[in-house]
Amino acid sequence: MAYAPLRLEDYDISPTHGFLPSEPPLRRLPDPYYAPWEDVMDRFNQYLLAHHIRRLVRKMPVLGTDKLATQAEYRRAFSILSFMAHAFVWGRNGAISEPAAEFLPASISVPWVAVAEFLQLNPVICCAAVCHWNWQVLDEEAADLMDIDNLGTIHTFSGSLDESWFYLVTTAIEAKCARGLNAILAATVGAEQDDIQQVTLALHQIAYSLGEANEILERMYERCDPYVFYWKI
Q: What dihedral do alpha carbons 36, 24, 181, 205 form, nearest 10°?
A: -150
Burial of 64 (0-12, 13-18, 19+ CB in 10 A): exposed
Q: What pLDDT score does 28 carry?
A: 98
pLDDT of residue 3: 72
Per-residue pLDDT tens digits of the chain, which is 233 residues long: 567 788 999 999 999 999 999 999 999 999 999 999 999 999 999 999 999 999 999 999 999 999 999 999 999 999 999 999 999 998 876 556 678 899 999 999 999 999 999 999 999 999 999 999 999 999 999 999 999 999 999 999 999 999 999 999 999 999 999 999 999 999 999 999 999 999 999 999 999 999 999 999 999 999 999 998 888 87
198 Cβ contact partners less than 8 Å away, ≥ 6 residues apart: 186, 187, 189, 190
Supply the pLDDT for residue 1: 59
Instruction: Specify the pLDDT at position 233.
Output: 77
Sequence letter at residue 205: Q
Question: How long a stretch of residues is the chain?
Answer: 233
Task: Please tell me whether residue 209 adopts helix, strand or coil conformation.
Answer: helix
Instruction: Give the per-residue pLDDT at 219.
Output: 97
Angstrom distance (rounded) from CA 95 to CA 204: 57
Tell me, what DSSP letter sits at residue 129?
I
- pLDDT value at residue 206: 98
Tell me the pLDDT tens digit for each residue of 129-141: 999 999 999 999 9
